[in-house]
Structure 1
Amino acid sequence: MTTNTLFSQAVARMDAEAASFGTLFGDQQAVARNRPRLDPRLLVEAERFLDEIKSGRRPLHHFQEAMSTSDFPLYFADSLDRQMYGAYTATEATWRNYARAGTVNDFREVKRFATTGIRGRLAKVEELAEHKRRAQNMGEYKYSVDKYEAGFGLSFEMMINDDLDAFMRLPQDLAQSAIDSEELFVTEMFADANGPHASFYSGPNDNVLTGNPALTRPALQDAITKLTERVDDNGMPIQIKAVELTVGPGLALAAKEIINATEYRAVGPNGDVTIIRGNGVDANLHLNINYFIPTVASTANSRTSWWLFANPGESRPALEFGRLRGFEAPALYEKLPDMRRIGGGEVPWSFNHSAAEKKVVHVFGGTRVDARMTVASNGSGS
């Protein structure tokens, strides 16, 4: 747009000069007596040159040579040293590793049921005695999905001026916003300002590690042991084969050092040193770095809190995240143009405001399910 504006201004100026061309060069009184008369062939060539510029038949590099870059110091100096920085690297979604993905049919509240009580050790029954009847316990979990949107509008001027394609990636940014919203929503289900969510990680739920230890190899081993020793309401063991360790970026390095260690040395009470090949905790353990934990956990605990989840594909999930059927993925929309050129051809902007609009729509929700399938520590040591 800048190029077109400056070009039009220059052509308009030369057009005004051409209007009085005869006066400038043909009027004897306007010609200095001591200057030689200009060659008429040069006048014809100059008129042809101006006419070709106005009609667009003259190439731009001819125009540049004729006018020189010094006539447009801002435009040429600016365009030779302009570039668009790349976008920030987007965060990767981790919630699928520790929350079960569900699908709901509509916006009404959905219910999820979990039953316990029938499974258990068989009881010995004496001759002619009746067996003991077991009662089934049913847990109910409810949630509904909501619609979330975001969008942007671009004016006609912005689209024309976008010579660096800065607005071409905006739809991609909307799609990434939907991914970020999912991750943040799930993070708010298991974390609050002080670390592990207080209503989910509590003494009655028996899923807070004693003493809130910092993330170390012994503490991680104790947490894995606690999680894999879970039992149901009748004392039957719950088999957990895979475990998901979830931390914020502040603990990423410490977690990787623990998991990637190739040798561990244990010092006994009498000073004996036992060398263990491997770290002893990495089997069926997967690390998730959730970059939204510092956003939710606003206190210093954001750098020390850590969570363990049973893999949701192996057992009953600790969390469920649901999407609307038919809208499982974010949907990008653009407003249909309500204007077209006379003679044919639609344009991507509105008639009244000369603006183009796009938006993203995503529908999701979720709930906490089974507190036994997770343990956590805020890492404070208290």
Structure 2
Amino acid sequence: MSTIELINGAGSEKADDSAFFAGYRKPSHYAIGESAVERANDFLVRIAEGRADHQQIHEAFSTSDFTMSAFAAIDTRLRQAYAELPSVWRQYTDTLTVNDFRPTRLLDKWSNILGLKLVPEATEYPAAAGQDFDQWWISVVKYGLTDGITFESRINNEAIGEIENLPGKLARAAQETETINALSNLLTIDPETNLASDVNTSFFKAGNGNAPTALPLTAENLDAVIDTLLAKKSRRGRLMAAPALQVVIPRALENQANRIRNLRQIEKTTGDTKEVYDNYLKTVDFVVEPMLDAILTHANAATTWFVLPKTGSVRPASFAAFLRGYETADVRVKADAGQSVGGGAISPLEGSFDIDTIQYRARHIVGHQVGDPTFTYVSRGA
């Protein structure tokens, strides 16, 4: 049996969180009492529900204490929104954490040893042979964006809408980044547009025994594909214990997946023999990945489907990595408001020195790598 393990070097010393971007501070960096954050959150809820008038909003945001408390509340709500959004990609991609930005090795070891050797009387024990391995490297990279709330919109009380939309906007962007990161193992994605032109033919290829086909998703075809995968042999020519498999599909194929699951029987013809089975495919897991519909631009995007091992398998095919200590999205506000003429510090939420804009920045750190192709399959459909 082959297993894949993560090999880490010495753990890196955790850097000061505020040192990554000079001039930026997380709202939680400032000393803000819990009661102030709670009051700010309650007031944000009142505004969202239309229970605060124009004058109340203007007075609240005219004080830096309230504005800072509001952003601290948003920092908390961002984390909540991030956690509440579904992560479908985690159903078909194994996750791990790495210590730093340097590549980390993934090792797939196997042995050609088949049982023990006969040792005749008074002879030496034979040496074991046949140990070998495959390896891949995984590393994380940084993603992010900046945006701003202008001085004019704050004066016009338009900023409240932008502030209210901030948690969901950044949380959704972070989740989309994670999904696109995981799908980069399955698709050829342009990093500039985040659109995919085709399946990942560097992974799905003849050399890996999983070159793309053109079979539509039907019960008969799925049955044949699963039979083929279960018959896969190891590098030493023996049948392997197959991992649990699942089918990853775009939303466009969801109804077809339901039809397959709801069939009572499956017909199978081998040569001149026709056999009828109870529909065992009703127990197959179909993972609907909506991002496939959104980013795959291939002409057959709506009919493309994958078969992959379930996560936690001893032969994972897809990995995603997070940086240890930075597993969730980070949002912070730029601290470049300057100082008052009298020398006192000015809250960054009064706007920047140069353009009067409250600038915020989101960051997320993720990485991806393909793994073992043995029990994988892709079809672009008909």
Q: Which runs of 5+ in 2 are unaligned?
A: 1-53, 55-83, 189-195
The separation in 2 between residues aligned to 1:147 and 1:137, in whole angstroms, is 34
Contact residue 216 and residue 380 of structure 2 kept, 8 A: yes
Contact residue 334 and residue 348 of structure 2 kept, 8 A: no
Please name the residue that 1:181 is paired with. Answer: 177
Please say which structure displays the higher CA radius of gyration.
1
Please name the residue that 1:314 is paired with. Answer: 313
Please name the residue that 1:208 is paired with. Answer: 211
Once the two structures are superposed, residues 130-166 of structure 1 have per-residue CA deviations (whole angstroms, 9 ceiling, x without a partner) of: 5363121121111321111112101122134345942
Alpha-carbon distance, 1:105 to partner: 0.7
Contact residue 214 and residue 304 of structure 1 kept, 8 A: yes
Contact residue 114 and residue 140 of structure 1 kept, 8 A: yes
Please name the residue that 1:370 is paired with. Answer: 372
Corresponding letter in the other structure for 1:141: W
Local SS of the residue matching 2:290: coil
Please name the residue that 1:148 is paired with. Answer: 143
Please name the residue that 2:254 is paired with. Answer: 252
The separation in 1 between residues aligned to 2:138 and 2:377, in whole angstroms, is 23
Question: Normalising by the residue count of structure 2, what TM-score does the alignment of the two structures yield?
Answer: 0.66
The separation in 2 between residues aligned to 1:108 and 1:272, in whole angstroms, is 56
Alpha-carbon distance, 1:214 to partner: 0.8
Please name the residue that 2:89 is paired with. Answer: 95
The separation in 2 between residues aligned to 1:96 and 1:263, in whole angstroms, is 31
Contact residue 119 and residue 236 of structure 1 kept, 8 A: no
Structure 1 147/130 Cα, relative in aligned 2: closer, same or farther at 3 Å?
same
Two-structure CA RMSD over aligned residues (Å): 3.2
1:244-283, aligned counterparts within 5 Å?
244-259=246-261, 261-264=262-265, 266=267, 274=276, 276-277=277-278, 279-283=279-283
Please name the residue that 2:154 is paired with. Answer: 159
The separation in 2 between residues aligned to 1:91 and 1:250, in whole angstroms, is 21
Match of 1:112 among 103, 106, 109: 106
Local SS of the residue matching 2:281: coil
Contact residue 153 and residue 159 of structure 2 kept, 8 A: no
Please name the residue that 1:83 is paired with. Answer: none
The separation in 1 between residues aligned to 2:350 and 2:236, in whole angstroms, is 65
Please name the residue that 1:359 is paired with. Answer: 361
Residue 232 of structure 2 is aligned to residue 230 of structure 1: yes
The separation in 2 between residues aligned to 1:272 and 1:130, in whole angstroms, is 53
Structure 1 221/162 Cα, relative in aligned 2: closer, same or farther at 3 Å?
farther
Alpha-carbon distance, 1:111 to partner: 1.2
Alpha-carbon distance, 1:208 to partner: 3.4
Residue 190 of structure 2 is aligned to residue 190 of structure 1: no
The separation in 1 between residues aligned to 2:199 and 2:345, in whole angstroms, is 61
Local SS of the residue matching 1:321: strand
Please name the residue that 1:6 is paired with. Answer: none
Corresponding letter in the other structure for 2:172: Q
Contact residue 113 and residue 128 of structure 2 kept, 8 A: no
Contact residue 98 and residue 319 of structure 1 kept, 8 A: yes
1:59-138, aligned counterparts within 5 Å?
92-118=86-112, 120-124=114-118, 128=123, 131=126, 133-138=128-133
Once the two structures are superposed, residues 348-367 of structure 1 have per-residue CA deviations (whole angstroms, 9 ceiling, x without a partner) of: 12244221111111111111
Contact residue 194 and residue 378 of structure 1 kept, 8 A: no
Q: Which runs of 5+ in 1 are unaligned?
A: 1-59, 61-89
Structure 1 241/113 Cα, relative in aligned 2: closer, same or farther at 3 Å?
closer
Corresponding letter in the other structure for 2:180: L
Alpha-carbon distance, 1:195 to partner: 4.1
Percent identity over the alignment?
Answer: 23
Contact residue 348 and residue 358 of structure 2 kept, 8 A: no
